[in-house]
């Protein structure tokens, strides 16, 4: 199990674009690895189709996307046409991201993605709907785990990446329901005396406690 801030494993895998070494494949980009329980299943098809539709948004943020399930590369290739049809894209186009084959569950176990309530026809465990965001330094920056019955919201994953990339550059934090362009909060570690220089348009929200920790500023 990898915790936030720890190095993400540099695994080897067979994928729909051939064998990869994760660090080599990622290069200097951000990365999203997301798992799904099984090919030719309804929720997974909608999810992978949505990632096709949003692929340009991931690219614009410098993010590479890679999927994973416990099925074979051959199964992934056969399933791809269903995904592309649901995404309403040209069936002749290749999938814009690779899918990892993890038939022996090695990566699923290593990353603690197994869902004990989901098994295949042979009784083998399947992966849950995990999402891992890895930064260019190969560190885990975000981890979300959904059960098989709950499809993910990839717009929220993009929003979270926007927050990670923004807060890496500036000493701010993004509040509840933040969207790019909204006001942000100055981090508590920034002393009040530095505010006029760093964030000259900051507003301190008055609170019953009298404490000055809600310091709101336009997004840098």
By annotation, the residues acting in catalysis are 44
Full 3-state SS string of 183-210: CEEECCCCCHHHHHHHCCCCEECCCCCC
Pairing of strands 18-21, 12-15: antiparallel
Radius of gyration of the chain, Cα coordinates, nearest whole angstrom: 20
What angle do the packed helices 73-86 and 42-53 form, to 10 degrees? 70
Q: How far is CA 212 from the centre of its chain?
A: 33
* Diameter over CA atoms, the chain: 64
Residue ranges of the alpha helices (H) in the chain? Answer: 22-26, 42-53, 55-60, 73-86, 106-110, 154-169, 195-198
Say how far apart CA 63 and CA 32 lie, in whole Å.
7
């Amino acid at each position: 199990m990898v915790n936030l801030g720890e190095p993400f494993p540099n695994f080897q895998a067979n994928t729909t674009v051939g064998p990869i070494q994760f660090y080599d494949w990622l290069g200097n980009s951000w990365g999203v690895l997301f798992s799904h329980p099984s090919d030719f299943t309804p929720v997974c098809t909608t999810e992978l189709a949505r990632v096709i539709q949003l692929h340009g948004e991931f690219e614009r943020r410098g993010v590479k996307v890679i999927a994973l399930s416990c099925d074979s590369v051959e199964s992934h290739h056969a399933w791809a046409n269903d995904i592309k049809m649901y995404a309403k894209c040209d069936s002749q186009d290749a999938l814009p991201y690779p899918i990892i084959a993890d038939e022996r569950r090695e990566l699923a176990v290593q990353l603690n993605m197994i869902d004990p309530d989901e098994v295949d026809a042979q009784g083998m465990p399947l992966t849950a709907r995990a999402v891992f965001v890895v930064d260019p330094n190969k560190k885990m920056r975000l981890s979300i785990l959904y059960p098989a019955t709950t499809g993910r919201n990839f717009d929220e994953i993009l929003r979270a990446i926007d927050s990670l990339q923004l807060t890496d550059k500036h000493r701010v934090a993004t509040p509840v329901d933040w969207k790019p362009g909204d006001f942000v909060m100055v981090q508590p570690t920034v002393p009040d005396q530095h505010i006029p220089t760093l964030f000259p348009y900051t507003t301190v929200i008055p609170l019953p406690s009298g404490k000055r920790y809600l310091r709101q500023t336009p997004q840098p």
